[in-house]
Amino acid sequence: MRHMIFGESHGPAIGVVLEGVPAGLELDLEQVQRELDRRRPGQDPTATARKEADRVEVLSGIFEGKATGAPLAMVIRNTDQHSKDYEPLRYTPRPGHGDYAGFVKSRGCQDWRGGGHFSGRLTAPLTAAGAVARQVLARKGVWVAAHISSIYGICDAPLDDLEALKAVAGKSFPVLSDAKGEEMRQAILEAKEQQDSVGGAIECAVCGLPAGLGAPDFGCNVEGIFAQYLFAVPAVKGVDFGAGAAFSLMRGSEANDPFAVEEGRVVTTTNYAGGINGGITNGMPVVFEATIRPTPSISLPQQSVDLRTGEETEIEIRGRHDPCIVPRAVPVIEAAAALAACAVLGI
């Protein structure tokens, strides 16, 4: 399935068009809405004060509850914009954000309100598209789940039981260990009190993909396909598969995954490779960790440049921003992973 996201943070609406949704799919719109509700900030003080209903509307591609095979268009209305907060930043790009790069690419014609098309707001339609992809995957026995693996150096419990991930989706703070989650929340609140922000990481598993998908070649490599979808999520700055960076600390005898037979099926007794060998799925769960940078929009004074005069200046960002986007990004990473899994399966 191919998808195209449209809209801007402070425009009338945002949305997505999905091509290739299998005809006859009985789309559960309530499930799509549940995923969007997971991404919404709610009442938690660790999230932005911007409150959007994020009610999804289907414009085309569904008739009598089933996908028609035509492009599926979904839209989400914007209702809680404070565009005036961004007036002082029109020509003074925020450090760490896409403001300057977008200004250059668009020749100064980009929508600067709330980050425009570069805003994390655009992860809402991505989440909706991923919710559709998850329903397609479910028909093939494939499921996706994730948890916060760390925030500001505070690590969640290790992922020893993949089934435990399924319960995380029902939590307001999606971690395996609630005690560790509370430590993370306190770190976020402390950064917020200091007008700053923190980053973290999200660990995700895609279970049920059969062995033999993908290829070592450019454009067909499973790690590359997943990475392309994941790096399209704003604020993702790193993706590690399996042991990831920890491979640099291992010997081959530690890093290799021994083969075994389980109920007549070839498996590995460990999964340091993250379910992929030679760019091809090996039948084990595809496991990766996505690193999320701290929210660029912080209230502390920062150095910038006035693009009209070319002179250095200092800016102070106002508006409503998450002191940490990691908790709300969990369903977004799952959505990107679901779309990538569909691509790997050739859907």
Ordered by start, the domain boundaries in the chain are: 2-345
pLDDT digits (tens, 9 = 90+) for 13-31: 999 999 999 999 999 999 9
In this structure, the number of other CB atoms found within 10 A of the CB of residue 283 comes to 17
In this structure, the number of other CB atoms found within 10 A of the CB of residue 206 comes to 26
Q: How far is Cα 213 from Cα 99, in angstroms, rounded to an integer?
A: 38
pLDDT digits (tens, 9 = 90+) for 265-300: 999 999 999 999 999 999 999 999 999 999 988 889
> What's the CATH number for 2-345?
3.60.150.10
Per-residue pLDDT of the chain (347 residues; tens, 9 = 90+): 999 999 988 888 999 999 999 999 999 999 999 999 999 876 566 666 556 678 999 999 999 999 999 999 999 998 865 566 677 788 888 898 888 888 898 888 887 777 778 888 899 999 999 999 999 999 999 999 999 999 999 999 999 889 899 899 889 899 999 999 999 999 999 999 999 999 999 999 999 999 999 999 999 999 999 999 999 999 999 999 999 999 999 999 999 999 999 999 999 999 999 999 999 999 999 999 999 999 988 889 999 999 999 999 998 887 677 899 999 999 999 999 999 999 999 99
Q: Would you tell me the crossing angle of helices 326-345 and 222-230 to the nearest 10 degrees? A: 140
**Cα–Cα–Cα angle for 215, 220, 225, rounded to 5 degrees:** 120
- Which residue from 120, 187, 75, 19 is spatially nearest to 331, judged by alpha carbons? 120
